[in-house]
A and B are shown apart, each in its own frame.
Chain A
Amino acid sequence: GQNIDQPTEMTATEGAIVQINCTYQTSGFNGLFWYQQHAGEAPTFLSYNVLDGLEEKGRFSSFLSRSKGYSYLLLKELQMKDSASYLCAVSNQAGTALIFGKGTTLSVSS
């Protein structure tokens, strides 16, 4: 079966660093995506990993270990606007729909 796990909720304070973990078990693997979704809005693309290692993009970084079925999204210098749901999604085959985790709701406080 297909399974993607990530924590349901996390809290952090402004200026801090937070790491959101994601583990996956899928029939195939063609890449892992992270999306950000604010309440009432559609998801926006954050990052894509297909090879092992760290991808850095400004305040956000994403890491992948294919052998461990594990990824994390690292958010640095947190801002209030980073309060949102973060979705981990896996493509198990090129051209097919992504398999989404249930999302991690991040609350950033001052």
Chain B
Amino acid sequence: GAVVSQHPSRVICKSGTSVKIECRSLDFQATTMFWYRQFPKQSLMLMATSNEGSKATYEQGVEKDKFLINHASLTLSTLTVTSAHPEDSSFYICSARADSTDTQYFGPGTRLTVL
């Protein structure tokens, strides 16, 4: 149990394009999901908290108009990186907080490379 999927696992795109990443909790409900970014050899950095049916809460320094988050159901949150640039290249990881236990489970991550 407690499986979180992320799609795609890897994406390469041209500068200026938009990329959508999906995060799904497969066997549990998650009112709250979190989006993290991790650069090589660094720790996870929280980007935003996504709550089902309401607006996401962004961490300081994260542009909400660039990183669009939608949490349309109790099992799905999406992160769209708009007008991606090479400096957006990173490992993006979502986690879903199980409503019943408060434990967070991570998706497998999406490696984004912007050329």
Contact = CB atoms under 8 A, between A and B. Distances in A.
Interface residues of B, number: 22
Contact of B44 (A30, A31, A87, A95): A87
Interface of A is mostly: loop
A41 B108 contact: yes
A13 interface: no
Interface residues of A, number: 22
Nearest to B92: A42
Contacts, number: 46
10 contacts: A42-B106, A42-B108, A42-B109, A45-B2, A45-B104, A45-B106, A48-B103, A95-B102, A96-B49, A100-B43
Given A30-B102, A40-B111, A42-B109, 16 more contacts: A31-B102, A33-B104, A40-B91, A42-B108, A43-B44, A43-B106, A45-B103, A45-B104, A48-B103, A87-B44, A91-B102, A95-B97, A96-B49, A97-B34, A98-B95, A100-B43
